[in-house]
Amino acid sequence: MIPQSDSEADGPGFNYAYLDERSKRSIRRAIMKAVALPGYQVPFASTEMPLPSGWGTGALQITASLIGRADRLKVIDQGADDATNAASIKSFFKRVADASTTTSTADATIIQTRHRIPEQPLRSDQILVLQVPQPEPLRRLTPRARETQRMHAYADYGRLYVLLYEDITRHREVATSYDYPVRVNGRYIASPSPIPKFDNPKMNRSRGLALFGAGRERRVYAIPPLTAVESLDFEDHPFSVQRFPAACSLCGSRTSYLDELVTGDDGARRFVCSDTDFCTTRQHDRNARAE
């Protein structure tokens, strides 16, 4: 709502979810274009948010343009709901959107995340909003926008595959372990954001919608539900994910992404699920079964 006069300054001073409706519409338009062209980076008019750029302003704007009164918002950072950044983003939306928030992946309708994808597969009514610092997967090849645009336009991705070739030649395997580039819907190559490559397979034919926001770079892109997402590889050197040497010491999971914690000066270490909600839920289930 655009204030019509100064008397409206007595009000909250901002629209629902902080952004005015016009801005929200333009962001949603950009999102629609992104959904229509899976993996293609759509430019958008990124605006000032009460968060420094580089801290998730892109994702913040996406969430702000989508969130409504019926939504339940979950925000995680490195898999944890209680991380500082995640917590402050949640309280921001509580304030400007009167939003209901949750830590439960199963309960959430919008999940904003940095650096991880939740272990639990998404449903078709859920939207994942990822924070992306550098949306351009070809940036590692050249700083020139003209060149990266041309490469995307002509699907001229040879040079990116050359990097894989060089890695295999030098290290016998691809050295990249996070922000591992993917081909979306068989066409555009995209950066999945700095998630560990462990999470890449989760994007393939996910039932939920994944939206990627880069505020500083002013780009938004999307992976619509049930879209094919392949991590780049060679036929004879197929993509593979990290394996952990132990199970989660809290919930016993052998399938989730684990954080390594050093517990003492003697170098003792424990492995714990990075996805806190996943871990807690498993612990409850285990306890419930025990009774």
Partner 1 sequence: MTNGRLGSVVLEARGVSMQFAGLRACDDVTLSIRTGEVLGIVGESGSGKSTLLRCLGGILQPTAGTVHLRLAEGAHRDLWAVDEATRVQITRTSIGLVHQNPRDGLMMDITAGGNIVEPLMAAGARNYAALRATAVDWMRRMELSLDHIDRFPADFSGGMQKRLQIARCLVTGPRILLMDEPTGGLDVSVQARLLDLLRHLVKELAMAVIVVTHDLAVARMLAERLLVMRAGQVVEAGLADQLLEDPQHQYTQMLVSAALRL
Q: Catalytic residue positions?
A: 39, 248, 251, 273, 279
Candidates 14-22, 72-80, 233-241, 280-288; binding stretch for partner 1 (CB under 8 A): 233-241
- Contact criterion met (CB below 8 Å) for 219 and 228: no
By C-beta, is 5 or 169 nearer to partner 1? 169
Q: How far is the CB of 41 from partner 1 (least distance, A)?
A: 19
CB proximity list for 271: less than 8 A, separation 6 or greater: 244, 245, 246, 247, 248, 249, 258, 259, 260, 261
Helix (H) or strand (E) holding 260: strand 258-262
Candidates 55-63, 156-164, 211-219, 265-273; binding stretch for partner 1 (CB under 8 A): 156-164
Amino acid at 249: S
Q: How far is the CB of 147 from partner 1 (least distance, A)?
A: 12
Q: How far is the CB of 168 from partner 1 (least distance, A)?
A: 6
169 binds partner 1 (CB under 8 A): yes
228 binds partner 1 (CB under 8 A): no
Answer for which of 8, 166, 260, 285 binds partner 1 (CB under 8 A) is 166
Q: How far is the CB of 154 from partner 1 (least distance, A)?
A: 5
By C-beta, is 107 or 166 nearer to partner 1? 166
Give the residue from 285, 259, 235, 240 showing the smallest Cα distance to 116: 259
Long-range CB contacts for residues 249-257, cutoff 8 Å, separation at least 24 = 250/279, 250/283, 251/278, 251/279, 251/280, 251/282, 251/283, 251/286, 252/282, 252/286, 253/119, 253/278, 253/279, 253/282, 255/119, 256/119, 257/79, 257/116, 257/119, 257/196, 257/198, 257/199
143 binds partner 1 (CB under 8 A): no
From its phi and psi, is residue 39 left (phi > 0), alpha (psi between -120 and 50) or beta?
A: left
By C-beta, is 153 or 290 nearer to partner 1? 153
Q: How far is the CB of 164 from partner 1 (least distance, A)?
A: 8
Q: How far is the CB of 186 from partner 1 (least distance, A)?
A: 11
By C-beta, is 184 or 279 nearer to partner 1? 184
162 binds partner 1 (CB under 8 A): yes
By C-beta, is 69 or 172 nearer to partner 1? 172
Give the residue from 118, 220, 137, 217 showing the smallest Cα distance to 176: 137
- The SS3 of residue 269 is strand
Q: Over the range 155-168, which residues count as b (16 or more CB within 10 Å of their CB) and which as e?
A: eebeebeebbeeeb
Candidates 85-93, 158-166, 212-220, 241-249; binding stretch for partner 1 (CB under 8 A): 158-166
Q: Which two tokens stand for residue 162?
A: 């050359």
157 binds partner 1 (CB under 8 A): yes
234 binds partner 1 (CB under 8 A): yes
236 binds partner 1 (CB under 8 A): yes
By C-beta, is 157 or 188 nearer to partner 1? 157
Q: Name residue 130's beta-bridge partners.
A: 113, 212
Which residues lie near partner 1 (CB under 8 A)?
153-154, 156-159, 161-162, 165-166, 168-170, 233-237
